[in-house]
Amino acid sequence: MIHKMLMIVGLCISISVTAQSDDPGIPPGGDPDINEVPLDHSVWFLLIAGSFYGLYKVNRIEDNKA
């Protein structure tokens, strides 16, 4: 179970790095308004990876207490 969670975290991080390399970034001419910038896919994958890593750490701490 724990190894599967770590594999999911690694997969999400690698997908986020790949998604960032495809992102063209901010267009020339200055920064757009913050309301106009959507969250790209890399941010969502990093949030998912962080959630799974947090679950892994909580489960690991609970296993050490038992």
* pTM of this prediction exceeds 0.75: no
Report pLDDT for 54: 85
Mean pLDDT of all residues in 53-65: 82
Q: Where are the domains of the chain?
A: 1-21+40-66
Query: What's the CA gap between 23 and 53, in Å, rounded?
Result: 25
pLDDT, one tens digit per residue, over 10-54 is 877 777 776 655 555 666 655 655 555 556 666 777 788 888 888
Residue 18 vs residue 58, higher pLDDT: 58
Query: What's the CA gap between 28 and 9, in Å, rounded?
Result: 34
Query: What's the CA gap between 55 and 9, in Å, rounded?
Result: 11
